[in-house]
Copies of this chain bind each other. A is one copy, B any other.
């Protein structure tokens, strides 16, 4: 598999192509910063290789082999992200770009050894689950902060927006994964909320609360 092919497979997976749901060439083209006509060409090629199901004018979905392939690439990506943060002191906003390259290194032994070195982590620095060697993984029980009711308490467990700007914003406000968070008050006017993060009071906009995942603690 070429690097380009791998990137197509990964993108289709992230767009939901595993749920046997059809993904449009337009959606793929937008995500990959390319043109729909290029996607059509690649769709045919990957169908030929039994990685995609492709119905003309309808879209594509991943075959079982395609899903397996996607999970393998995602596993590598997320393990490398953990490695960069835990072993090389990268910050969580720096790792994605480098992991985009490292995920294409072809060596089963390499990634298994990295996994072992990291003591088989379950989640990457952004809270996303890491597929195991055989491809299974459990999505964490989580909700967007914006969905919590006043008074609810939880733990920050992930981010939806993984852009460097958002991650740096969280850093600046001392919000990190693992932190406790409680909703003090919700403002109807702009959907902002006042919260307590590890005891500190903060006012968070709707744009923040709709991009931060929380695991709610059952309060009684």
Contact = CB atoms under 8 A, between A and B. Distances in A.
A200 interface: no
Interface residues of A, number: 18
A172 interface: no
Given A110-B88, A113-B88, A101 B94 contact: no
Given A94-B109, A109-B94, A114 B101 contact: no
A110 B90 CA distance: 9
Q: Secondary structure at chain A's binding surface: helix, strand, loop or mixed?
A: helix
Interface in A83-107: 84, 87-90, 94, 97-98, 101-102, 105-107
A202 interface: no
Given A88-B117, A94-B109, A97-B107, 9 more contacts: A84-B110, A88-B110, A88-B114, A89-B113, A90-B109, A90-B113, A101-B105, A101-B106, A102-B105
